């Protein structure tokens, strides 16, 4: 320290240094301002461009953007400031404990009698500035819980529109469109052309993200670029973009084409895709999953209903093969046949009788007409008329009777229930395999097996004698 | 679309409930058929939703306006339709 101060003063004009260093000779008194000005001019001219290595402590960032800190080593320290114009270009955030190399000029702050290094440039020692910045932002956002999986949103199963933020001429866009088109031709894409590398790209991406999430129907956004060097990926490591992704009202998929390295955007995105193509696959996978789910539900729906119908059919079958009910159909069929036979016979009989009587009437009339007996005509006419009437009414009575009998039979059929019949003590005798009812004793022989359905239960019988 | 169906999320949820109900079982036939009909309706709705999205590519410009993307973008390699001049 001592020779640090001695250096500039050796070059000072002899009269001034004499005044300071040899007060005994001629008493020249300086004001504080004068001496400070002298010191400043000495220091500032001597140390207008120095490199200093040290550890940052007492670091404070002012809202104005100026950064104040102290650089120190084991034995000494020096105050430091980095004004906004310079700190603006910093890739990382100076913080306590950081080992840095500062480049700048020394300046004296008259009002406080302090000297300090005014930094133009600051770089972390050992790691690169970008790497350090990355680690810093990562640590900070992680501490805020922004990497938490629980915070991240589900992708929509059926995005109405898919937003894409990327450069128009990059391979990323081409890859995404290709995959989406191949997988689901019916997709609505909204592309926001955006510069994704170079100075200020992060800000552009942020603006694009905000704009595209405002488009009605955009349910998911892919932020993509097709790989590149660490420097190229820098925008995706900037805090401002990370914050915009977190604040996005719609889920964001990061697709920075770099399989291995994660960017900060990858950490905060709702879904991280290793490549732009993968991002497209992820978007449609959700849709595929939804399709599969609907199909599965539809299949289960059909199966459930089919199973129910099956169950019912089975129950019906069990019921219908139960006890006396088995013969029900056969009985009804038999009764039906009897009835229709009877009806037919009745109708035929009635018709035949009527026809016969009509025939007799005609014959009689012919006979009467052929005999020209006018005297007896009136009497005969009367008798004929009466006969005619009697004939008609007889025929009609006959028909009415037949109809009435038919109706009674039909009515009985309606109330006919095999169970009711069986309950009255009737039984149905079947052949052994129960395929036909036995109506004649001659249909079976001695030793044949028959089954007999009773009102309750069934008998299996052996014929001992058929009469 | 059917006014009784809100969106595909609620449709899937309802379909899921119906399927469970039917699978569990012993509903009266009448009710099963009503549920089945509703289930079919919901599944048709979901399928329609899947196909609903339009095949379209738009560009969002700096002024926030949407413009149909130049056909060359739709190309994406194997897509011939997008390449045809209109």
The reply to whether A190 touches chain B by the CB within 8 Å rule is yes
Residue ranges per domain, chain A? 32-126, 135-290, 422-462
Task: Identify the sign of the CA torsion A357, A363, A366, A372.
Answer: negative
Q: Homologous superfamily of A135-290 in CATH?
A: Response regulator (3.40.50.2300)
User: What pLDDT does A81 receive?
Assistant: 94
Q: For residue range B5-58, what is the model confidence (pLDDT) as tens digits?
A: 878 788 888 888 888 888 887 777 677 778 888 888 888 888 887 777 677 888
Q: Using CB atoms, pick whichever of B15, B18, B66 lies closest to residue A215.
A: B66
Mutate which of A174, A308, A313 to disrupt the B interface (most B C-beta within 10 Å)?
A308
Please judge whether A297 and B64 are an interchain contact, meaning their C-beta atoms are less than 8 angstroms apart: no
Residues 207-236 of chain A with CB under 8 A from chain B are 211-212, 214-215
Q: Do the bridges between strand A218-225 and strand A252-256 make them parallel or antiparallel, or are there none, so unpaired? A: parallel
Which backbone phi and psi does A278 adopt, to 5 degrees?
A: -65, -35
User: What pLDDT does A2 receive?
Assistant: 45
**Which tops the pLDDT comparison, B79 or A194?**
A194
Token representation of residue A323: 């006890």
Chain B nearest C-alpha distance from A100 (Å):
41
Q: Which residues contact A251 (CB under 8 A, 6 or more apart)?
A: A152, A153, A154, A155, A156, A219, A220, A221, A270, A271
The nearest alpha carbon in chain A to B49 belongs to A158
Q: Which fold has domain A32-126?
A: OB fold (Dihydrolipoamide Acetyltransferase, E2P) (2.40.50)
Q: Order of strands across the sheet with A428-431? A: A428-431, A449-453, A458-462
Distance (Å) of CA A242 to CA A234, A237, A259, A441, B18: 12, 7, 19, 100, 43
Distance CA A446, CA A305 (A): 52
The reply to whether B55 touches chain A by the CB within 8 Å rule is yes
Q: Do the bridges between strand A99-109 and strand A50-61 make them parallel or antiparallel, or are there none, so unpaired? A: antiparallel
Residue A332's nearest CA partner among A420, A202, A271, A270 is: A420
- Tell me chain A's radius of gyration from C-alpha atoms: 57
User: What pLDDT does B85 receive?
Assistant: 40
Please judge whether B64 and A211 are an interchain contact, meaning their C-beta atoms are less than 8 angstroms apart: yes
What is the ipTM, given to two decimal places? 0.73
- Whether A70 and A78 have beta carbons less than 8 Å apart is answered as yes
Segments of chain A scoring below 70 in pLDDT: 1-25, 128, 258-260, 316-424
**DSSP three-state, residue A436:** coil
CB contacts of A298 in chain B (<8 Å) are: 15, 39, 43
CB contacts of B33 in chain A (<8 Å) are: 305
User: What pLDDT does B69 receive?
Assistant: 82
User: What pLDDT does A1 receive?
Assistant: 45
User: What pLDDT does A425 receive?
Assistant: 74
CB contacts of B25 in chain A (<8 Å) are: 308
Distance CA A377, CA A387 (A): 15
Q: Could you report how far apart the first and last alpha carbons of chain B are, in Å?
A: 32
């Amino acid at each position: 320290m001592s020779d640090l101060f001695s250096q500039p003063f050796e070059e000072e004009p002899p009269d001034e240094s004499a005044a300071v260093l040899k007060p005994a000779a001629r008493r020249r008194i300086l004001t504080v301002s004068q001496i400070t000005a002298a010191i400043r001019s000495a220091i500032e001219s001597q140390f207008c461009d120095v490199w200093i290595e040290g550890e940052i402590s007492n670091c404070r960032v002012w809202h104005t953007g100026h950064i104040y800190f102290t650089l120190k080593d084991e034995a000494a320290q020096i105050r430091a400031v980095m004004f906004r114009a310079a700190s603006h270009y910093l890739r990382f955030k100076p913080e306590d404990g950081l080992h840095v190399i500062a480049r700048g000029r020394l300046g004296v702050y008259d009002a406080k009698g302090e000297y300090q290094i005014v930094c133009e440039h600051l770089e972390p020692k050992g790691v690169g500035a970008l790497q350090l910045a990355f680690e810093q932002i990562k640590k900070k956002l992680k501490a805020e819980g922004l990497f938490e999986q629980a915070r991240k949103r589900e992708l929509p199963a059926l995005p109405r529109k898919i937003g894409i933020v990327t450069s128009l001429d990059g391979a990323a866009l081409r890859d995404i469109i290709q995959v989406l088109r191949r997988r689901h031709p019916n997709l609505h894409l909204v592309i926001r052309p955006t510069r994704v590398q170079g100075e200020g790209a992060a800000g552009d991406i942020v603006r694009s993200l905000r704009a595209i999430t405002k488009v009605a129907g955009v349910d998911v956004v892919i932020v993509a670029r097709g790989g590149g060097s660490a420097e190229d990926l820098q925008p995706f490591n900037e805090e401002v973009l990370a914050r915009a992704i977190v604040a996005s009202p719609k889920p964001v998929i990061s697709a920075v084409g770099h399989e291995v390295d994660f960017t900060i955007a990858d950490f905060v995105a709702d879904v991280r895709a290793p490549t732009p193509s993968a991002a497209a696959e992820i978007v449609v996978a959700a849709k595929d999953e939804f399709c599969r789910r609907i199909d599965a539900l539809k299949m289960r729906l059909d199966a459930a209903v089919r199973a129910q119908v099956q169950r019912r059919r089975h129950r019906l079958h069990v019921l219908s093969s139960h006890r006396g009910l088995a013969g029900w159909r056969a009985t009804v069929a038999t009764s039906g046949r009897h009835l229709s036979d009877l009806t037919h016979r009745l109708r035929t009989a009635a018709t035949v009788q009527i026809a016969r009587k009509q025939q007799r009437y005609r014959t009689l009339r012919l006979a009467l007409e052929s005999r020209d007996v006018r005297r007896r005509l009136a009497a005969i006419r009367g008798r004929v008329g009466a006969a005619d009437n009697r004939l008609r009414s007889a025929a009609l009575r006959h028909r009415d009777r037949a109809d009435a009998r038919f109706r009674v039979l039909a009515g009985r059929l309606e109330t006919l229930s095999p169970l009711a019949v069986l309950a009255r003590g009737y039984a149905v005798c079947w052949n052994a395999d129960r395929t036909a009812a036995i109506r004649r004793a001659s249909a079976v022989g001695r030793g044949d097996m028959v089954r007999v359905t009773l009102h309750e239960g069934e008998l299996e019988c052996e014929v001992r004698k058929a009469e | 679309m059917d006014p009784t169906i809100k969106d595909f999320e609620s449709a899937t949820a309802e379909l899921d409930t119906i399927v469970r109900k039917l699978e569990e079982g012993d509903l009266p036939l009448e009710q099963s058929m009503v549920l089945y009909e509703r289930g079919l309706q919901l599944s048709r709705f979901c399928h329609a939703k899947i196909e609903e999205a339009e095949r379209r590519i738009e560009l969002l410009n700096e002024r926030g306006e949407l413009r149909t993307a130049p056909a060359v973008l739709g190309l994406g390699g194997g897509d011939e339709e997008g390449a045809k001049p209109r």
